């Protein structure tokens, strides 16, 4: 038995509904989206400023406080080496801390917005 109907697209039945442009604009102006944005910004901006300040302190001390940075801590390990390793440590700590923050505070709010927009579409 032959049919002239085209085969369904692969994955078409699992594709989420696409909200309209007006729905995105309305959602962007909603209080819930504003709360999500504030939760992200209140975490990301202060931490970014703190890390950039810490990084610039390391660079400035390396350039202008050679005596201090060259101070031996243990054996051949000096202050500059310890600060350099601390840069890596703080980078990983910030990534881990942000992941925890996003999982606890941002992801639930974003999922609620997403599911509401897909349901309304």
In a domain, 4, yes or no: no
Taking a C-beta distance cutoff of 8 angstroms, is the pair 58, 84 a contact? yes
Q: Does 11 reside within a domain?
A: no
pLDDT value for 20: 82
In a domain, 55, yes or no: yes
75 within some domain: yes
Q: How far is CA 61 from the centre of its chain?
A: 29
pLDDT at 102: 96
In a domain, residue 13? The reply is no
Query: Number of structural domains, the chain?
Result: 1
* Global confidence as pTM: 0.72
pLDDT value at position 111? 93
Q: 16 pLDDT exceeds 90?
A: no
State which residues form the domain around 109: 30-120
Residue 36: CB atoms within 10 Å: 19
DSSP state, residue 3: -
Answer yes or no: is 68 within a domain: yes
> H helices within 1-121, ranges in order?
21-28, 31-64, 66-69, 79-101, 107-120
Longest CA–CA span in the chain (Å) reads 87
Residues with Cβ within 8 Å of residue 35, at least 6 apart in sequence: 109
Question: For residue 92, is it within any domain?
Answer: yes
Evaluate whether residue 15 is within a structural domain.
no
């Amino acid at each position: 038995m032959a049919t002239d109907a085209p085969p369904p697209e692969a994955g078409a039945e699992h594709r989420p509904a696409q909200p309209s442009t007006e729905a995105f604009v309305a959602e962007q102006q909603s209080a819930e989206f504003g709360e999500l944005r504030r939760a992200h910004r209140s975490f990301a901006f202060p931490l970014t400023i703190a890390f950039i300040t810490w990084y610039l302190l390391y660079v400035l001390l390396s350039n202008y406080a050679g005596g201090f940075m060259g101070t031996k801590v243990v054996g051949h390990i000096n202050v500059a080496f310890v600060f350099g390793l601390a840069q890596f440590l703080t980078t990983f700590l910030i990534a881990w801390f942000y992941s925890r923050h996003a999982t606890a505070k941002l992801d639930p709010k974003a999922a609620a917005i997403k599911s509401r927009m897909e349901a309304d579409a």
